């Protein structure tokens, strides 16, 4: 393979790795009564590393990238494995945990997996939630 062929192969590899890095998924965990929800954007990196996150409960709204009347928050930690996900959210000064998402993945053989658990927001309440990706 000549220099042009090697350059083309290197460019193709770079382009395909760049497009894989740009792949994202929105995950939404919401209560059946729609009174509480947490939504976050994740990339294709290993583990759970939300790029941005929003929460809504009882007419209030929080976000890592707040707009309008949303309250600023930070992601303290996030963890995911084959069994489920855990996310802890702090106030914008990282002084205290203000919300926790704890969900478990389960499924019967041959069926679509279900991710369900609890979203707890200090001072607002706790809700059973189910999660889905978009």
Give me the pLDDT at residue 81, please: 87
pTM: 0.77
Give me the pLDDT at residue 89, please: 97
Mean pLDDT, contiguous 10-residue spans, the chain (134 residues): 37 36 81 95 82 95 96 95 92 97 82 86 97 83
- Whether 69 is in a domain gets the answer yes
- Whether 106 is in a domain gets the answer yes
Give me the pLDDT at residue 74, please: 96
- Whether 13 is in a domain gets the answer no
Q: Which domain holds residue 104?
A: 24-133
Give me the pLDDT at residue 123, please: 96
- Whether 19 is in a domain gets the answer no
Cβ distance 117 to 104 under 8 Å?
A: yes
- Tell me phi and psi for residue 117, to 5 degrees: 175, -135
- CA torsion 23→107→35→68, rounded to 10°? -10
Structure-block tokens of residue 17: 């790795």
Give me the pLDDT at residue 124, please: 97
Give me the pLDDT at residue 77, please: 95
How many domains would you assign to the chain?
1
Q: Which helix (H) or strand (E) holds 8?
A: helix 3-22
- Whether 64 is in a domain gets the answer yes
């Amino acid at each position: 393979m000549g220099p042009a062929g090697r350059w083309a192969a290197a460019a193709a590899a770079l382009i395909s790795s760049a497009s894989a890095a740009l792949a994202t998924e929105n995950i939404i965990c919401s209560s059946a009564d729609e009174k509480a929800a947490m939504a976050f954007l994740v990339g294709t990196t290993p583990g759970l590393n939300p790029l941005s996150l929003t929460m809504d409960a009882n007419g209030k709204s929080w976000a890592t990238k707040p707009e309008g009347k949303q309250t600023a928050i930070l992601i303290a930690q996030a963890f995911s494995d084959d069994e489920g996900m855990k996310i802890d959210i702090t106030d914008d000064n990282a002084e205290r945990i203000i919300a926790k998402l704890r969900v478990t993945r389960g499924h019967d053989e041959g069926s679509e997996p279900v991710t369900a658990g609890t979203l707890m927001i200090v001072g607002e309440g706790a809700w059973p939630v189910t999660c889905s990706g978009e």
